[in-house]
Amino acid sequence: MKAVLDSDRRLSVRLIADQVGLPKSIVHEIVTTELQMQKVCAKLVPKILTDEQKENRVSTSHKLLDRVRCDPDFLEQVITGDETWVFEYDPETNRQSSE
């Protein structure tokens, strides 16, 4: 089961259960208790950004470029990470978060 998850961590419990031939409840138990994994729902789809969000990205990019031009050592102070952890939109309800 770990090999199936390592190949694609976005698989649902149902799809994993179908692939390994076990009931969903057993797969869920193994994934949560033995593998100590938890479900994280985070989506960032740049194709559906609003015009305002797109403009904000461009503006922020220009500011960062200007900062690098003024201070060449600026990038040495930057800590990078996975972009899926950087959100500008905080949904107020569960329904909004699933959209």
More confident site: 44 or 85: 44
pLDDT of residue 23: 92
Q: What is the mean pLDDT of residues 65-74?
A: 89
Whole-structure pTM value: 0.41
What residue segments make up the domains of the chain, in order of their start?
2-34, 46-98
Q: For residue 5, what are its two tokens?
A: 């998850």
Q: How far apart are CA 6 and CA 16, in angstroms?
A: 11
In this prediction, residue 83 has a pLDDT band, given cuts at 50, 70 and 90, of very low
pLDDT band at residue 69 using 50, 70 and 90 as cut-offs: very high
| pLDDT at residue 85, as a whole number | 41
